[in-house]
A and B are shown apart, each in its own frame.
Chain A
Amino acid sequence: MSNETRISAQIENAAAHLTPYWPLQTFIAANPLQGLEHLSFEEAVELGADLFRGRGYPTAEMARTAMAEGRIDRAVLTEVAGRHGRPELVERLTQGRAEAAAIGEAGEASRVNFLTIKWLAAFLDEGQAAWPMPGREKGFWRAFKTLARHDPSIPQRRRLAPLPERPLAALVALMRDVPEEEREAWLTAHLVALSGWSSYVKWRAGQSAHPWQRVAPITLADYLAVRIALAWLLDEPTPALAAQGTAVPEGAVWLEAWEESYRRRLLDELQRESVAGSSCPQAPSAHLVFCIDVRSEVFRRHLERIGPYDTLGFAGFFGIPIAYRPFGESEPIASCPVLLTPAHTVPDAPACGHETAGEAHLHGRRHIAGGKTLVQQLKESVATPFAFVEAAGGVFGLAMAGRTLQPSRFGRLLARLRDAVSPQASLVPQIELLPAGEDPEAATGFSEAERIFYAEAALSIMGLTRGFAPLVVLTGHGGATVNNPFASGLDCGACGGNHGGPNARIMAAILNDPQVRAGLVARGIEIPEATLFLAAEHNTTTDAVEIFDAQAGKAQHPEAFARLLRDLAKAQAAASAERCRRLTQADGDSVAAVAERAADWAQVRPEWALAKNAAFIVGHRDLTRRLDLEGRSFLHSYDWQADAEGKALEVILTAPMVVAEWINTQYYFSTVDPVAYGAGSKITHNVVGTFGVMQGNASDLMTGLPLQSVMAADEVPYHEPLRLMTVVQAPVARVEEIVRRNTILQTLFGNGWVALTVLDPETGSLVRRSRSGTWLPALEEGAAASPAGDPSGVAAHGPLEAV
């Protein structure tokens, strides 16, 4: 027994190297080296090369292109290369071609890998297979053990029978000959041999409430027992970890020079803006709150240039840790950052007086769902496909032609059809606390105190506590794409990879609630009676903004609302024109061109999503309003004067910034190694079990972003692989205090995963925090965070206080 306990801890330690992989339906950006963040960036990249055979730095070719485009400044490169004692590297970028760094191939399929993949894909299937694997409720190891004796591709499979039924006990037997001190490394080698699949099992094992985990429970012990048993039967040696890193030491120099070139330009602009006067319109006709997402910046900039609007940035879940239950559904959807566990379920229900319409909507939806199931069954049944194609082939052929030749018109037609069968009903989120029978867990909504708490937290964290405009629009966001397994990667990360509209509607309802407003007065936030909160959703593929409760806006502030609608349309035209300049094959009318992309089922790149993200700016909009940040900055609003204790800033740095770091590192690693850390090309993707993709029919599960999300062509990156730089507008002492009391921030800043810069409004100074915790002037030569791999460089900056 104690052997099993020890092995379970060894598995836990071995699996710490893996980043859990969220299924495609709620695609979450995450650092593929998250398990190594306790190491310095350079050490982690090196170990990542050993474990995952991944490249961790931009190649010389990428750096050369960046230099040719002026993105790496030659003077900065000279300075950085000199500081690292590698002055010859400057010439390498300016002369000749670098040897092309070949992109690796997806996890080669050894016999053990091949069989493990086959059994995992069958066991983990989430409804894609017509015939599910039997016995899954017993768990992976037991189900495998029962069935494997029928698999002729497994040699000596009779030897499985005497192995114990419990996976941990089986591992004890299978690992009998592995010395205790080697076990952890040995288990690690088996886990990283198919790191994508292991990462998914790690995620799934932590989701006891996941409907498929209940149908087919799996743990890492199950997975390892199967894999190690197969290796034993096939007599395959333990997969070796790569002995030497494939990382190029030059890469660290290219990276730092590239980052510095970008950062110094941005910091220079920010410093200039910090002393310029306010650019905020005197009495804005509306406040619009957008998600911190880098895509919001483009739209906000255009909108503010069109009319008297003040925009803010806040995490797109609007501060409510909820699971949202769409009307007529039984399973709620977690709609908050994955750092949080939903604390409230909020259902949607027909508005007062619209109950009949609600019934009609549900009725229609049942017809649509029934039709889909029928078609699915006819397609997959052994007996029917031939007759089905004979009878219905013509209709499908027409639909295919429509989708291919006139995608957006076909999309509109489908939407009209859907609305005809299942007419839209007016829905209202049920924010008030509703008990559901005896079970307190089943209650929905918020108590009055909770509503007031979340309202106050959201407004004070975003710094909107006075001077409310007559209209305040909370704008969530989501992408629009068809035939795209990575669709949720375009949606809101703060909403767990879902559309942000529901959260915006719920928060707007809370802030319009008279009880909440009365409660807020007692907390010093007075929202004028005339102020109306509206909810909207920004379509990040087409830049259309849909306002959900238009009737209320029209009724209460007809003029301001009509103007807002006109200006949103103008901003859409301007933002989509900017977008089209960055996309290929997007000519002509920009609004039509982006709509076409969103509806095109052959489109591998509906939008660039968060590509090129590189900075996280926390401060007042005055700091950035006049700048064109090129859609590369996360923008979080912050009022340093209203947060003396730093509570709001602490929330911003420990949650939204952490999510931004996940996104940034995912884009970074998917670009520098699109196969080991990215998902490879979409062209050869196969969806497996509905939760992931493989390259071909048996590869490792491909985690990370597809090649088309980060690369303009196979070898030419569109995303610039730079680590995140956080810029905070606040007193330095306050920021330092917050870093000191949060391990997670010490890890990210101290190990070089994120750079921290502070614009101190009290002293006017612009300073960077070195990795060891000293504050240095940000724009002086050599002020970069402690040089990579050169600890002596740190000491050169003088006595430092370690944190």
Chain B
Amino acid sequence: MAVTNTDPDLVFHALKKIEIIVKGDKKQFVSDLLERAGATGYTLIKDIAGKGEHGFHEGRLLFNDTASLVMFVAVASDETIREVASGLKPLFEKNSGVMFISDAQVVRLEHFMRKEPAAG
């Protein structure tokens, strides 16, 4: 069933979404990378569990934060996501981790527009 948009203010803007799963000790590298590439924000999910090349990975360990996995979710322009992916590619050649890139739509586009890249 086709949906007609009756609200002229409710426009879906096409952007890209990247989901990145890395070990806890790469958290800072990824957050720096997102910032430098111009992503205006991200969601961070800590202590995630799952199964991959190295078998099942436990979620939270009581006394050890560094061995856990974290997931970043960021939505930004194609260009910014490409930039992020280009920084992750060499990382994944040496470290475990995954990234998924998909199409996403947002309503408030201005919240996802690239700022001037942070200096440094």
Which of A's residues lie within 8 Å of B, judged by CB? 1-2, 4-6, 8-10, 12-13, 16, 139, 165-168, 184, 206, 219, 221, 315, 319, 321, 337, 339-341, 457, 650-651, 654-656, 658, 740-744, 746, 803
Interface residues of B in 18-72 (CB under 8 A from A): 26, 28-29, 32-33, 36-37, 54-58, 61-67
User: Do the beta carbons of B61 and A8 come within 8 Å of each other?
Assistant: no
B88 beta carbon closer than 8 Å to chain A = yes
User: Do the beta carbons of A1 and B117 come within 8 Å of each other?
Assistant: yes
User: Do the beta carbons of A743 and B67 come within 8 Å of each other?
Assistant: yes
Give the contacting residue for A219; candidates B37, B64, B117, B120; CB below 8 A.
B120
User: Do the beta carbons of A9 and B120 come within 8 Å of each other?
Assistant: no
Residues of B within 8 A of A184 (CB): 90
Residues of B within 8 A of A12 (CB): 26, 29, 91
A697 to B84, CA, bound (A): 42
User: Do the beta carbons of A340 and B64 come within 8 Å of each other?
Assistant: yes
User: Do the beta carbons of B120 and A655 come within 8 Å of each other?
Assistant: no
User: Do the beta carbons of B94 and A339 come within 8 Å of each other?
Assistant: no
User: Do the beta carbons of A339 and B66 come within 8 Å of each other?
Assistant: yes
CB distance from A759 to the nearest CB of B (A): 23
For the complex with contacts A741-B55, A741-B56, 9 further pairs of A-B residues with Cβ separation under 8 Å are A16-B94, A139-B120, A166-B119, A339-B64, A339-B65, A654-B61, A655-B61, A742-B67, A744-B67
Residues of A within 8 A of B90 (CB): 6, 9-10, 13, 184
User: Do the beta carbons of B86 and A5 come within 8 Å of each other?
Assistant: yes
Residues of A within 8 A of B54 (CB): 743, 746
Q: Which residue of B lies closest to A738 (CB)?
A: B58
User: Do the beta carbons of A5 and B87 come within 8 Å of each other?
Assistant: yes
Residues of A within 8 A of B117 (CB): 1
Q: Which residue of B lies closest to A14 (CB)?
A: B94
Residues of A within 8 A of B29 (CB): 8-9, 12
Give the contacting residue for A8; candidates B32, B62, B65, B66; CB below 8 A.
B32
Residues of B within 8 A of A457 (CB): 62
Q: Which residue of B lies closest to A217 (CB)?
A: B120
A184 to B89, CA, bound (A): 13
User: Do the beta carbons of A655 and B62 come within 8 Å of each other?
Assistant: yes
Q: Which residue of A lies closest to B62 (CB)?
A: A651
User: Do the beta carbons of B63 and A656 come within 8 Å of each other?
Assistant: yes
User: Do the beta carbons of A13 and B91 come within 8 Å of each other?
Assistant: yes
A10 to B90, CA, bound (A): 7
CB distance from A499 to the nearest CB of B (A): 19
A652 to B88, CA, bound (A): 33
Q: Which residue of B lies closest to A652 (CB)?
A: B63
Q: Mark B83-118, 1 if CB is under 8 A from A, else 0.
A: 110111111011100000000000000000000010
User: Do the beta carbons of B63 and A315 come within 8 Å of each other?
Assistant: yes
A457 to B60, CA, bound (A): 14
A221 to B120, CA, bound (A): 9
Residues of A within 8 A of B87 (CB): 5-6, 8-9
Give the contacting residue for B28; candidates A2, A6, A206, A221; CB below 8 A.
A206
Residues of B within 8 A of A6 (CB): 86-87, 90
User: Do the beta carbons of A9 and B83 come within 8 Å of each other?
Assistant: no
CB distance from B94 to the nearest CB of A (A): 5
Residues of B within 8 A of A650 (CB): 58, 61
Q: If the complex has contacts A16-B94, A139-B120, A740-B55, are A2 and B63 also in contact, measured as CB distance less than 8 A?
A: no
Q: DSSP majority for the A interface?
A: helix
Q: Which residue of A lies closest to B87 (CB)?
A: A5
A321 to B61, CA, bound (A): 13
Which of B's residues lie within 8 Å of A, judged by CB? 26, 28-29, 32-33, 36-37, 54-58, 61-67, 82-84, 86-91, 93-95, 117, 119-120
Residues of A within 8 A of B86 (CB): 2, 5-6
Residues of B within 8 A of A1 (CB): 83, 117
Q: If the complex has contacts A1-B83, A167-B120, are A337 and B67 also in contact, measured as CB distance less than 8 A?
A: no
A650 to B29, CA, bound (A): 28
A126 to B33, CA, bound (A): 28
A-B contact pairs, 30 of them (CB 8 A): A2-B86, A6-B87, A6-B90, A8-B33, A9-B87, A12-B91, A13-B90, A13-B93, A167-B120, A168-B120, A206-B28, A219-B120, A221-B120, A319-B63, A337-B63, A339-B64, A339-B65, A650-B61, A651-B62, A654-B61, A654-B63, A655-B61, A656-B63, A658-B64, A740-B56, A741-B57, A741-B58, A743-B54, A743-B55, A744-B64
A319 to B90, CA, bound (A): 38
Nearest 7 pairs between A and B by C-beta?
A: A655-B63, A5-B87, A9-B90, A339-B64, A655-B64, A744-B67, A651-B62
A360 to B80, CA, bound (A): 58
Residues of B within 8 A of A8 (CB): 29, 32-33, 36, 87
Residues of A within 8 A of B82 (CB): 2
Residues of A within 8 A of B120 (CB): 139, 166-168, 219, 221
A524 to B2, CA, bound (A): 59
Residues of A within 8 A of B91 (CB): 9, 12-13
Residues of B within 8 A of A658 (CB): 64
A242 to B89, CA, bound (A): 29
Residues of A within 8 A of B63 (CB): 315, 319, 321, 337, 339-340, 651, 654-656
Residues of A within 8 A of B88 (CB): 9
A457 to B57, CA, bound (A): 22
Give the contacting residue for A2; candidates B26, B61, B83; CB below 8 A.
B83
CB distance from B80 to the nearest CB of A (A): 10
Residues of A within 8 A of B55 (CB): 740-741, 743, 803
A319 to B61, CA, bound (A): 12
A321 to B60, CA, bound (A): 14
Q: Which residue of A lies closest to B55 (CB)?
A: A740
CB distance from B48 to the nearest CB of A (A): 14
A69 to B51, CA, bound (A): 50
A12 to B87, CA, bound (A): 10
User: Do the beta carbons of B64 and A654 come within 8 Å of each other?
Assistant: yes
CB distance from A315 to the nearest CB of B (A): 7
A6 to B55, CA, bound (A): 29
A744 to B33, CA, bound (A): 26
Residues of B within 8 A of A651 (CB): 61-63
A654 to B58, CA, bound (A): 11
A319 to B36, CA, bound (A): 37
A694 to B100, CA, bound (A): 46
Residues of A within 8 A of B26 (CB): 12
User: Do the beta carbons of A13 and B67 come within 8 Å of each other?
Assistant: no
Residues of B within 8 A of A9 (CB): 29, 33, 87-91
User: Do the beta carbons of B58 and A13 come within 8 Å of each other?
Assistant: no
Residue in A6, A12, A340, A741 whose Cβ sees the most chain B Cβ within 10 Å = A12
A321 to B56, CA, bound (A): 26
A302 to B63, CA, bound (A): 30
Q: If the complex has contacts A8-B36, A8-B87, are A341 and B65 also in contact, measured as CB distance less than 8 A?
A: yes
Residues of B within 8 A of A319 (CB): 62-63
A184 to B83, CA, bound (A): 19
A8 to B91, CA, bound (A): 9
A139 to B55, CA, bound (A): 42
Q: Which residue of B lies closest to A743 (CB)?
A: B54
A10 to B66, CA, bound (A): 21
A741 to B67, CA, bound (A): 12
A165 to B119, CA, bound (A): 9
Q: Which residue of B lies closest to A168 (CB)?
A: B120
User: Do the beta carbons of A5 and B67 come within 8 Å of each other?
Assistant: no
A8 to B67, CA, bound (A): 23
Q: Which residue of A lies closest to B94 (CB)?
A: A13
A10 to B33, CA, bound (A): 12
User: Do the beta carbons of A5 and B33 come within 8 Å of each other?
Assistant: yes
Residues of A within 8 A of B58 (CB): 650, 741-742
A184 to B94, CA, bound (A): 11
CB distance from B3 to the nearest CB of A (A): 38
Residues of B within 8 A of A743 (CB): 54-55, 57, 67
A167 to B63, CA, bound (A): 36
